[in-house]
Chains A and B, each alone.
Chain A
């Protein structure tokens, strides 16, 4: 069933299977644990500097209704990710591809919203150099955006691979692993949205 014969060579232990997919999922969870510290350090920095605005603008710039809308878009992408996963579980590649593409599209929409927002803020005088508040805001949301962008790239790659039937569990790049990553990135956004946008108001 799996392609990784190094692991096939191991006998099952206590009836449970040493399968490559289980190993990859373990690794993904471990990696996401590391990512928690990555974002945690940036969130801590932001909390330290959230009122250190100097002469520049601060949290009054935030357009909470707009960002709420783009947050909603990102949350919906978690739903479509689940649907994509279910479709592939049922071996319904066509529908799976539709949901994968929808997820990538929603992610891209969120990124577009972030670019729009950044442009607005720069025009209102908040840049990376304005104040420690500006530095930590752009770094935190920027790195989250980079995570979303990497996710969109992987989703797109998987959607393309699925057209030639080259998307399956045996590969490192598969729907369940990218799904885990994608949900994690969404959850991190909920924390960031709360800490950065809501707690300021």
Chain B
């Protein structure tokens, strides 16, 4: 085993260049996490500015123009640059570990996805320097988005989202191939952790939904820059086409944002209840069912667009149906905690917060399924309240739970429990104070996306409360950042398995070595790692098995590998180069008058990266 450890140590592992060229799924996962957190802080500042503007009637903090840019960028950032990449961070880091694999199927493609995401995100934000950020809402409805042509703001949006979509499709292909082909021996599909299942479902969701919005974005871009008339009503076109293409993507997208968080919670609850997940198969298949039905509900976003009663009734029914598998999951989570020996550590608190708040958001979502009710709620703050309960009270709580849970694995250090609990309670308070009042505001008729409201409509009090709440959320994250920074240096040493975990990542050191497992584990059951630690007595209670140091060291894992060195894929700068080329190409497309130079340079750089990448050997010294 010492031979193993030495053989993988031939590359320098520190310095900027090692991060740029890394193809290690764990390092890429950390890059995703840090980048997403940085964008999260930016989106949070945008939200605070929005709330400051709306704190009282006739707000004067922001102009209408600035407000339009900020709410557009807040939505776009949270969806594409925060929640999707933070999900990607968890999946990158954990998927191979949980499957007992040494990396994802395509390590360099993985690096390409990250760099393209980063560069495209920076590109969208660079629009602030070039005359202003996108200001047509993150949904970019036509004909509005086609008509805001005095600036290139919406071109940044169209090109930026397109590139982010390419990055996501590449990771989806990668994750699906990893799950289908890289599982450790004995890791059957129904022995995979729920988190891996949810990662698989969202990979398919992205794979089949992103191309639809991609086409929509191309059409819009052609309309804006090349005189096409896809959304030009005067030429006989139907601008509603945009809404269809967008929401065929957009609804599966909301599951993309929340299913990984559901997977995280499904991993945390059993560990902190010291019970297996209640109804594993139900959780898995309800997740898959959500994936399928998720493609048949998109028009519930369009009830007020005049589709006619048949379509409206159909989509109303399908939307109510999709609530069923979600409800199944909720009952399974409650069943998991039922009768368990609960440990109320911070990851558990955030998971329980997730369940409670997600239920509220889910229920207000079902009210949108009822068409006449939806007519009243459409484009009001009630909708804003709903999706923040699902995406912040749900998804973000789930991801924060995941950070508290896996931070010890990533860094070898524990986060502080006391600071964690302060973070949790402040965040619960701030979150509910911000978004619960928006239900009332919405039902009282306050429209979304308006930069100010006049006095005397009864909006003042609850808007004031929401603004106070938003600043409490910000405060809670100050505690989170202090905790993260402190723990990095001074946190308690975690050890391999600080939470008494159930899944394979806890069988590795914290942080895991580059090759993850010295010996590939052999999996015999669901929660295999747990069963190497505990047996059952006659009454079915868990009894500690004395001193076996983990599943990975089982005697009957494959022999004959002991003396063979494990070659990990070599670092490569081609993925970063190819993605840089694509983004330069994108800039050129936006400023086509002179940008044809950038188009040419970008295309050459991208092709250089792609060809270099496809021709270089995966591992050094193996070109034969």
Contact = CB atoms under 8 A, between A and B. Distances in A.
A24 B106 CA distance: 9
B241 A10 contact: no
Interface in B209-246: 209-212, 214-216, 218-219, 222-223, 226-230, 232, 235-238, 241, 245
A3 B617 CA distance: 8
A92 interface: no
Interface in A36-69: 37-38, 40-42, 45, 48-49, 52, 54
Nearest to B212: A41
Interface stretch (B364-372, B420-428, B607-615): B607-615
Interface in A77-99: none
Range for the number of chain A residues in contact with chain B: 35 or more
B208 to A, nearest CB: 5
B102 A6 contact: yes
B182 interface: yes
Interface stretch (A102-110, A111-119, A128-136, A191-199): A128-136
B153 interface: no
B177 interface: yes
Given A26-B181, A27-B174, A27-B177, A37 B619 contact: no
A6 B103 contact: yes
B228 A22 contact: no
B181 A18 contact: yes
A33 B176 CA distance: 12
B130 interface: no
Interface in B87-145: 101-103, 105-107
Contacts of A34: 169, 172-173, 207-208, 210-211
Contacts of A38: 211, 214-215
Given A13-B185, A30-B176, A41-B245, A135 B229 contact: yes
A128 B227 contact: yes
B468 interface: no
A23 B105 contact: yes
Given A4-B618, A23-B181, A135-B229, A37 B613 contact: no
B617 A132 contact: no
B182 A30 contact: no
B222 A11 contact: no
B173 A31 contact: yes
A13 B208 contact: no
Contacts of B566: 5, 9
B208 A37 contact: yes
A90 B105 CA distance: 28
A190 B144 CA distance: 36
Contacts of A161: 615
Nearest to A20: B618
B520 interface: yes
Contact of B241 (A48, A129, A143, A157): A48
A33 B205 CA distance: 12
A136 B181 contact: no
A35 interface: yes
Nearest to A12: B185
A173 interface: yes
Interface in B292-341: none
B615 A166 contact: yes
A172 interface: yes
A5 to B, nearest CB: 4
A30 B173 contact: yes
A157 B611 contact: yes
B11 interface: no
A30 B228 contact: no
Interface in B174-193: 174, 176-177, 180-186
B558 A3 contact: no
Nearest to A135: B228
A6 to B, nearest CB: 5
A139 interface: yes
Contact of A23 (B182, B237, B613, B624): B182
B182 A10 contact: yes
B561 interface: yes
B343 interface: no
A166 B614 CA distance: 12
Nearest to B520: A10
B619 A3 contact: yes
A171 interface: yes
Nearest to A14: B185
B30 interface: no
Interface of B: 101-103, 105-107, 169, 172-174, 176-177, 180-186, 207-212, 214-216, 218-219, 222-223, 226-230, 232, 235-238, 241, 245, 248, 520, 558, 561, 564, 566-569, 611, 613-615, 617-619, 622-624
Given A30-B207, A41-B215, A170-B622, 14 more contacts: A3-B623, A5-B566, A9-B566, A9-B567, A10-B520, A27-B176, A34-B172, A38-B215, A41-B214, A129-B227, A129-B228, A132-B237, A135-B237, A143-B218
Interface of A: 3-7, 9-11, 13, 18, 20, 22-24, 26-27, 30-31, 33-35, 37-38, 40-42, 45, 48-49, 52, 54, 127-132, 134-136, 138-139, 143, 157, 161, 166, 170-173
12 contacts: A4-B569, A5-B566, A6-B102, A10-B182, A37-B212, A52-B237, A127-B227, A129-B226, A131-B235, A135-B222, A139-B228, A166-B615
